[in-house]
Amino acid sequence: MTSRKGTKHTHNRRSEGQRLTKKERDDHFAAHLPSILQYHQLMLSDGVRNRALANAIKRAIKPGSHFLDIGAGTGVWAIMAAKLGAERVVAVEIEEALIPFIYKHAQENGVADRIEIIHGKSDDVKIRGRFDIIVSELFGSDAFGESVVRSFVDIRTRFLKPGGLLIPQSLAMYAAPAVVRSSVHDVPASLDLKFDFFRSVKLNYGQSIAFSEHPSVEFVADPIRLMQMDFSHLTPEDLPKEVSGSWKLRSLSKPNAIVTFCRSQFTDEIEMEGFDSQSWGTSFYTFAPLPKGPGVLNFRQSLDPEQMNWTVGVEGGPVQNFAPVFAFTRVRMSQKLTPHRRFRSKDKPKG
């Protein structure tokens, strides 16, 4: 149960084909359990998301329905499907720490004997039969990446019955120019100090806005759809390499960021606005001040997770280019030119 904001927890490996020892696995388990609990607390506390998904599942479940939850998390949707009378319910989860949560929660709700629990990655698991309804929120930070699409294609091809329902049906990315208040991204807060170097380097990374900080965001134009993925027929080859949008503004100098968020279509009648959800991430991309006066603001973003570059510019004017590699290069070059003394760690071997 992973949202765009979430980080998908996976099993650690030393190298390809080399498994961890039991102690290493236990250490990894113990180290990551707090963050897993914190993340799923966020998901479970998201009333907007929960109501939308619950309504979609309630409308979809019929007597005799076969229900599959891939990325089952703590088991909430599998349990709901079982309680609604689905004939067969299967919950698949890759994070081993969550497997006992699914079972314990199913026990608490009196449906433990009606849910088949599978620990594994969706691409690897083999499940008998096909399903009328599949719920899967396999969205990490690369919600619009090729790996997500490949997973959905595999799920659809191997597990969904002809005419079955895949939830969500589609996922769209929206964007709008906005004023993001200084309290969200200005540093150092409450101090009269110049930190332009830090801010200029940080511009090369998109940032997340916590749900509690949404009042600090003021859209200066209506959001537009940059792209949409329809999981019923989408293939990796259909994915664009980049997305772009333009807005005609009365005052180009007003916005200081482009805000992006998702809109998820669970069924034909039920959709969820990611901006209203605390577990689905809202991102913003700040830029240097633009010229005063009216004009057209252009935004372009690469969907390649290896690059993650974007541009902001005014039609007919210069373009601002941003990318993590620019930040890395600038900091590395500045490091070499910075007068400083260095002491090697005593624990570090010489050589």
User: Catalytic residues, which ones?
Assistant: 137, 146
Maximum Cα interatomic distance, the chain, rounded to a whole number of Å: 73
Round to whole Å and give the CA distance between 203 and 201: 5
Beta bridge partners, 257, equal 178, 286
CA atoms within 13 A on the CB side of 137: 26
List the alpha helices (DSSP H) in the chain. Answer: 22-44, 47-60, 76-83, 99-108, 146-159, 182-185, 196-202, 324-337
From 296, 324, 331, select the one nearest 310 (Cα to Cα).
324
Q: Residue 322 belongs to what H/E stretch? A: strand 319-322
Q: How many CB atoms lie within 10 A of CB 161?
A: 13
Round to whole Å and give the CA distance between 285 and 177: 9
